């Protein structure tokens, strides 16, 4: 289920991933042919960006450039949101990628990652199950489209010396009233910090190109949004630091691993450490084309809509150095080839969604049916080097799935109720227990809201079956150990209120999870035992609290999440008991209000927990019981400023290194980056 279909929220103020803010005026639409867009080029836009007279400064700016998304189209919302010009998120690395949730990664930007806190799965049907690079990929259903009175150019560049670099450039323009087009190019990379003689040695490289268009018919009955994106992600896998075994010190037992023979604090020599893998590469290639369009049949009460989406995801893992110098294997198994690994998986799908919808001031609804045609292929290469023979690990899986669903919403004054439902019907009446469905309802009264969720979803395609050079399993129907659907029942209550200088928010969640599927590590070594399914249900309780104080020019923003039920005693789900983030800064104007500046400190903290281990060859995080990641806080000091359309920041990241130790682990035996200087700029041109 796409994000735009999942959450109707026709009466809520939505914030985009870029932090744009709602506008209070109607969006003006313009037109220009795509050929004129390319002919105009970026150089003239940049060349004339700063030659402004007083009338131009007043006429064009953030107040004349608006962002619209597919979810706005499906609510028939003609109000845009002004582009983000705030400073708050600019120096925060969590907002540098497309997924802004708290994440566990491998210690460097662009490496494999997973969401740290509990979130239920909301997608039904066939799914590839390769998600460790999702954080860096654009969501085609969430692409921003623009309505501009003048050409709009966005540019940002971040540099974390010498490890991280981010570059993004986007351009959009419209003429007349009906057509807007633009493009975006994004590139980021990361250099190795561990086991390398030169810190300019690349570890991650990501390139993404996006082209988007939006069209509104002159009479206002037909609206369309379309985008095409292609992304290429390449990550060198290091497999973690190889621990050095030393004689235990009885007087300092807290500095040793669970077996008492590895001094963890001495594994932060970074460049001088030794890693498990030296020739392994993971590639994640994605292509997607998406079109969403609507046609008004009978005013706002009856509108037809159609969404077509084609996507492709290919994952490839290669390693041409499977043994150490002494001839011992870097892997516990080599099933297909003793000299080289070349495992591949490819998922393709074509989705067609057709439905009707209606929107009024008090009532909104949407009904739809969706057809998904997909193919799944798992291959490995074998033979002598160079490998020339591609072998299908199992016959290519193809299928067609049907879904029906809808949304409904009602609002009266401060009361609102919203519902979402979707089901994947099955013709097998003897197996109704594995019917996939999603039902979610939300009620809101002023600052209070409550939500209930019931879902049942099938295992991913990778969880069901996999075969490669190092691991193999089969949990499909008819196998010796077939997996069943995972079921989730969840209740969430939220309260949020602004009280003068104070903003208070609290969210409580209770979830019951049945038949949870997870990947596990072997108890005697950091190797994969394969996917497992819990036969019993597990209860999870979370409480999130946020407090923000604005006192004159002083701002303190604190957030913490407490989780109960996902500790060491939970065999399939691990979450730190406490995860917190705090920002304290001073902001104000300088130079006769020509510069808005912020200066402060931000800190992140999580409690001790047995963090997930990571297996590069299958691109999955594993539940393990041998390594405890400690509760080292990480603090950054930053200064940021906004001069007209230019935003800049300077930051010293992990300033508390050596207090108390010289590093910390993001994942078992994956050291996070050391102290470093980071800077960045964000420049927006509105003409």
- For 450-489, give the secondary structure using H, E and C: EEEEEEEECCCHHHHEEECCCCEEECCCCCCCCCCCEEEE
Q: Give the largest Cα separation in the chain, rounded.
A: 81
Contact between 199 and 189 under an 8 Å Cβ cutoff? The reply is no
How buried is 523 (Cβ within 10 angstroms: 0-12 exposed, 13-18 middle, 19+ buried)? exposed
Cα-Cα-Cα-Cα torsion 508, 511, 516, 517, nearest 10 degrees, comes to -30
Give the dihedral of Cα atoms 110, 113, 118, 120; nearest 10 deg: 90
Q: Is residue 24 assigned to a domain?
A: no
**Given this model, what pLDDT does residue 40 score?**
38
CA gap 378, 372 in Å, rounded:
20
In angstroms, the CA 143 to CA 16 distance is 10
User: Is residue 282, in this structure, part of any structural domain at all?
Assistant: yes
Give, rounded to a whole angstrom, the gap between the first and last alpha carbons of the chain.
38
In a domain, 34, yes or no: no
Whether 505 maps to a domain, the answer reads yes
pLDDT in the model for residue 253? 54
Token pair of 333 as six digits? 């198994």
**Which residues have a Cβ under 8 Å from the Cβ of 200 and sit 6 or more positions away?**
162, 191
- Does residue 529 fall inside a structural domain? yes
What gap in Å lies between CA 502 and CA 485, rounded to an integer?
Answer: 44
Cα(6)–Cα(420) distance, integer angstroms? 7
Q: Would you state the pLDDT for residue 47?
A: 39
User: Token pair 């992140």 is at which residue?
Assistant: 604
Task: Report the number of distinct structural domains present in the chain.
Answer: 1
Owning domain of residue 294: 62-240+275-686
Burial class (CB in 10 A: 0-12, 13-18, 19+), 267: buried
- Whose tokens are 């963090």? That residue is 611
- Asked if 608 contacts 628 with a C-beta cutoff of 8 angstroms, the reply is yes
What sign has the CA pseudo-torsion 268, 519, 619, 211? Answer: negative
How many whole angstroms separate alpha carbon 60 and alpha carbon 686?
6
CA gap 589, 53 in Å, rounded: 24
Positive or negative: CA dihedral 459, 230, 617, 244: negative
Quote the CA–CA distance of 434 and 432 in Å, as a whole number: 5
Omega before 162 within 30 of 0, i.e. cis? yes
Instruction: Say if CB 159 and CB 680 are below 8 A apart.
Output: yes
Residue 14 lies in a domain: no
In degrees and rounded to multiples of 5, residue 457 shows phi and psi of -140, 150
What gap in Å lies between CA 521 and CA 519, rounded to an integer? 7
DSSP state of 140: G
Blockwise average pLDDT, block size 10, the chain, 687 residues = 54 38 37 35 39 51 87 86 86 92 96 96 96 95 91 94 93 87 96 91 96 93 96 96 70 58 80 93 98 92 96 96 91 88 96 96 95 95 66 89 96 94 81 86 96 97 94 93 95 97 98 97 76 94 98 96 95 96 94 89 96 95 92 94 92 92 92 95 91
pTM of the predicted model as reported, rounded to 2 decimal places: 0.88
The CATH number linked to 576 is: 2.40.170.20
Beta strands in 118-178 (DSSP E): 145-148, 152-161, 164-175
Q: Is residue 249 part of a domain?
A: no
Are the C-beta atoms of residues 297 and 304 closer than 8 Å to each other?
A: yes
Q: In angstroms, how far is CA 251 from the centroid of its own chain?
A: 43
* Residue 508 CA, distance from chain mean position: 23
Decide if 441 is inside a domain: yes
Determine the Cα–Cα distance for residues 289 and 352; give it in Å rounded to an integer: 12
Q: CA 124, CA 434: separation in Å to the nearest integer?
A: 12
């Amino acid at each position: 289920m796409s994000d735009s279909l999942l959450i109707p929220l026709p009466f809520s103020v939505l914030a985009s991933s870029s932090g744009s803010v709602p506008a209070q005026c109607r969006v003006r639409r313009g037109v220009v042919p795509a050929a004129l867009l390319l002919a105009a080029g970026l150089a003239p836009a940049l060349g004339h960006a700063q030659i402004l007279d007083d009338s131009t400064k007043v006429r064009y700016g953030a107040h004349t450039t608006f962002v619209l998304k597919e979810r706005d189209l499906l609510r028939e919302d003609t109000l845009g949101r002004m582009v983000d010009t705030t400073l708050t998120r600019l120096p925060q690395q969590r907002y540098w990628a497309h997924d802004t949730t708290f994440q566990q990664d491998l210690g460097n930007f662009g490496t494999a990652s997973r969401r740290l806190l509990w979130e239920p799965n909301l997608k039904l049907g066939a799914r590839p199950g390769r998600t460790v690079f999702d954080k860096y990929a654009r969501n085609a259903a969430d692409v921003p489209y623009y309505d501009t009175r003048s050409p709009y150019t966005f540019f940002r560049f971040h540099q974390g010396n010498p490890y991280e670099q981010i570059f993004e450039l986007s351009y959009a323009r419209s003429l007349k009233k009906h057509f807007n087009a633009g493009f975006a190019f994004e590139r980021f990379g990361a250099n190795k910090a561990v086991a390398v003689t030169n810190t300019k040695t690349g570890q991650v490289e990501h390139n993404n190109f996006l082209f988007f268009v939006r069209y509104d018919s002159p009479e206002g009955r037909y609206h369309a949004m379309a985008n095409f994106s292609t992304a290429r992600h390449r990550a060198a896998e290091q497999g973690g630091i190889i621990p050095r075994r030393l004689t235990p010190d009885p007087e300092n037992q807290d500095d040793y691993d669970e077996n008492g023979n590895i001094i963890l604090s001495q594994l932060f020599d970074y460049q001088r450490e030794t890693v498990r893998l030296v020739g392994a590469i993971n590639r994640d290639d994605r292509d997607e084309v998406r079109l969403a369009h609507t046609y008004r049949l009978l005013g706002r009460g009856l509108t037809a809509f159609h969404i077509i989406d084609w996507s492709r995801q290919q994952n490839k893992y290669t390693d041409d150095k499977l043994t150490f110098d002494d001839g011992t294997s870097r892997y516990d198994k080599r099933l297909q080839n003793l000299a080289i690994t070349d495992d591949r998986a490819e998922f393709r799908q074509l989705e067609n969604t057709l439905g009707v919808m209606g929107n009024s001031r008090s009532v909104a609804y949407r009904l739809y049916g969706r057809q998904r045609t997909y193919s799944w292929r798992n291959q490995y290469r074998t033979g002598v080097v160079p490998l020339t023979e591609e072998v299908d690990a199992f016959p290519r899986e193809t299928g067609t799935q049907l879904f029906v669903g809808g949304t409904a919403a009602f609002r009266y004054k401060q009361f609102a109720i919203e519902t979402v439902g979707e089901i994947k019907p099955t013709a097998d009446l003897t197996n109704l227990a594995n019917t996939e469905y999603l039902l979610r309802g939300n009620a809101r009264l002023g600052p209070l809201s409550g939500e209930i969720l019931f879902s049942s979803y099938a295992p991913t395609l990778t969880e069901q079956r996999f075969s490669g050079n190092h691991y193999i399993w089969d949990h499909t129907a008819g196998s010796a150990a077939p997996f069943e659907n995972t079921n989730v029942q969840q209740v969430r209550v939220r309260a949020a209120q602004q009280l003068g200088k104070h903003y208070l928010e609290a969210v409580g969640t209770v979830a019951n999870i049945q038949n949870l599927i997870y990947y596990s590590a072997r108890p005697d070594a950091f190797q994969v035992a394969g996917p497992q399914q819990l036969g019993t249900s597990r209860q999870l309780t979370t409480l999130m609290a946020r407090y923000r104080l604005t006192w004159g020019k002083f701002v303190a923003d604190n957030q913490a999440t407490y989780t109960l039920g996902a500790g060491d005693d939970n065999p399939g789900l691990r979450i730190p008991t406490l995860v917190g983030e705090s920002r304290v800064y001073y902001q104000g104007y300088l130079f006769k209000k020509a510069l808005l500046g912020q200066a402060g400190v931000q800190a992140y903290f999580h409690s001790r927990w047995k963090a997930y281990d990571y297996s590069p060859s299958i691109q999955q995080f594993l539940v393990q019981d041998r390594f405890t990641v400690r509760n080292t806080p990480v603090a950054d000091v930053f200064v940021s400023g906004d001069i007209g359309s230019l935003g800049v920041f300077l930051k010293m990241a992990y300033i508390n290194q050596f207090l108390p130790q010289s590093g910390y682990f993001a994942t078992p035996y994956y050291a996070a980056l050391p102290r470093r200087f980071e800077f960045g700029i964000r420049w927006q041109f509105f003409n």
